[in-house]
Structure 1
Amino acid sequence: MPSPRPALELLARLGYAARGVVNLLIGILALIGAFGAGGGQATGSKGALQELLLHPFGSVMLGAVALGLFGFALWRCFQSLLDADNRGREAKALVIRGGQLVSAFAYVSLGIFAVSLLIGAAARSEDGQSARDWTRWLLAQPAGEVLVALCGAVVAAVGVVMLYLAWSCVFTRHLRCPGDAARWVVPLGRIGFAARGVVFMLIGGFIIFAAWQSDASEVRGLGGALIALQQQPFGRVLFGLVALGLALFGAFEFAEARYRRIDAPG
């Protein structure tokens, strides 16, 4: 019986490429907003998928991205449940593997949204609306403010971890790059993780503020977090730098699709 490993590896690599498309679009749209006449035009993953559909051959590209998103979700399940990265069962490893399982559900949801766009069953999604809906539901529960604040703290902590990855280059242990490729792949990863770290910390801060105010409308998605960044001193420059970092992270994901070490379990 043929081994399923080549197919699983192909799906995982397609998944990294699909993530690359989404993050590259997010970064490019934000860069256009940062330096365009209107300014402030930024969106999240769902907005990027909607934008993709507007271009020539958009349906074909969106279909390929949807397949990749499901493939990436499957790979995340292997990483989490079957320890495909050989992290072990220490407390730190279990936390990482738990986060990978959460990521799997998130990418399944994004893949379903992509499919619904293809078949015309999805309404236009406002940036951060899903997060606000979940926040509103949590706030209605007993100790809802505490639960929301904890969620915000977790999201902000993910941002801190990404900044650590950018500083430490720990992510390189999962890459199989020849020396000439590593000279450009590693800087892409460092800049990309740093930009994502900033964004996750901002989103986490908005969630914590929503808990403090008991108001789900204070929650911001990725696009809203970038626009809030733009409103700070030197915000236009900061907005542009983070937008560039997100676009470079998309490019790094294409490199991961090529060079990531993928040991798909049988």
Structure 2
Amino acid sequence: MNSSVDPAGAARQVAKNPWFERAARLGYAANGVLHATLGILAAVIATGGKAEADQSGAMRTLADQPFGMVLLWVCAIGALLLGLWSLAQAFLPENKVRERIKHAATSVSFLAVGFTFGRFAVGKPSDSGKTATSFSGEMMKSGLGRTLLIAIGIGLLVMAGYYIYKGVTRRFLKDLSGSRHSEVSRAIKTSGMIGYPAKGVVLGTLGVLFIVATVQGDPKEANGIDGALKTIQDQPFGPVALIAIGVGLVCYAIYLVFRARYDQMD
């Protein structure tokens, strides 16, 4: 009896299962909930309030709401399902190499988000800002580590440029199947055109902070999204810019909810 496992066959069973695909769409909605909360926290900071506007702060805020723990579990399951579905797509030999790499990156991202949601759901939260600072501090102890940190910063800048480009050119529409309702189509276009550049600005600022922290040898500078948003706040017209980014992140969240319904999933 042949007990060997066929990765491509197993991946195909997951990737081509219509029920699994429908359930995995929940991951986009979970990401939308996360970004909407980040946008609200960014606005709180901009108006002089105290908030931790990063992944951990957003999940902690969600946990404190009525039915927050239920929401965390739903988001955890959705993100993990989408991560597993994307991982299966990455193993399909019929997909192009570029598509498989894209799905692999998406898988890592959503599995990480899903596990973080899960940690908060079971009462074992983490601090993403401290994690980023600790990671940077360890990497700065060697020349190779500093090189990798700068590479991460450059990678984030490239991603930022792509997000801005994707929003301005409406390239994100290629990911979706069209809606028959003109009002929905307009809402998708508007939310994507505002949301993608806002996410790009946050990623770009985070990339700059990684590079600056490495050059200055100060890991505290690389303290995640919260640090990036507070750096924006400290600039001239920073509060206004931060409110605009907060609105943009909420728009991106709205787009992600639409994406949960209309993504082509291929």
| TM-score relative to the length of structure 2 | 0.86
For residues 92-241 of structure 1, what are the structure 2 equivalents within 5 Å? 93=98, 97-98=100-101, 100-120=103-123, 122-123=124-125, 125-178=126-179, 180=182, 181-241=184-244
Deviations 1:130-152 (A, max 9, x none): 22222222222343222211111
Number of the residue aligned with 2:9: none
Instruction: Confirm or deny that 1:53 pairs with 2:63.
Output: yes
Aligned to 2:51, the other structure's residue is in SS state coil
The one-letter amino acid paired with 2:71 is: M
Alignment identity in percent?
30
* Counterpart Cα distance in 1 of 2:135 and 2:161: 23
Q: Which residue of the other structure, out of 257, 260, 263, is the alignment partner of 1:260?
A: 263
Q: Residue 77 of structure 1 contacts residue 101 of structure 1 at CA under 8 Å; is this kept in 2?
A: yes
* Counterpart Cα distance in 1 of 2:114 and 2:265: 21
Q: Which residue of the other structure, out of 83, 86, 90, is the alignment partner of 1:76?
A: 86
Number of the residue aligned with 1:12: 24
Runs of 4+ aligned residues of structure 1 deviating over 4 Å after TM superposition are none
Q: Point out where structure 1 has 5 or more consecutive residues left out of the alignment.
A: none
Q: Point out where structure 2 has 5 or more consecutive residues left out of the alignment.
A: 1-12
Instruction: Confirm or deny that 1:21 pairs with 2:18.
Output: no
How many corresponding residue pairs?
A: 251
Shifted more, 130-139 versus 166-175: the winner is 130-139
* Counterpart Cα distance in 1 of 2:139 and 2:106: 20
The one-letter amino acid paired with 2:62 is: L
* Counterpart Cα distance in 2 of 1:83 and 1:132: 38
The one-letter amino acid paired with 1:98 is: I
* Counterpart Cα distance in 1 of 2:262 and 2:241: 30
Q: Relative contact order (alpha carbons < 8 A, sep ≥ 6): 1 or 2 greater? A: 1
Q: Which residue of the other structure, out of 18, 28, 43, is the alignment partner of 1:31?
A: 43
Instruction: Confirm or deny that 1:242 pairs with 2:252.
Output: no
The change in CA–CA distance for 1:132 and 1:51 in structure 2 (over 3 A counts) is: same
Q: Residue 34 of structure 1 contacts residue 40 of structure 1 at CA under 8 Å; is this kept in 2?
A: no
Aligned to 2:66, the other structure's residue is in SS state coil
Q: Residue 42 of structure 1 contacts residue 227 of structure 1 at CA under 8 Å; is this kept in 2?
A: no
Deviations 1:159-178 (A, max 9, x none): 01101101111110121122
What is the CA RMSD across the aligned residues, in angstroms?
2.2
* Counterpart Cα distance in 2 of 1:222 and 1:173: 28
The one-letter amino acid paired with 2:177 is: R
The change in CA–CA distance for 1:30 and 1:10 in structure 2 (over 3 A counts) is: same
* Counterpart Cα distance in 1 of 2:246 and 2:127: 19
* Counterpart Cα distance in 2 of 1:52 and 1:82: 36
Deviation at 1:79, TM superposition (A): 4.4
| TM-score relative to the length of structure 1 | 0.86
Deviation at 1:59, TM superposition (A): 1.3
Q: Residue 80 of structure 1 contacts residue 101 of structure 1 at CA under 8 Å; is this kept in 2?
A: yes
Q: Residue 42 of structure 1 contacts residue 226 of structure 1 at CA under 8 Å; is this kept in 2?
A: no
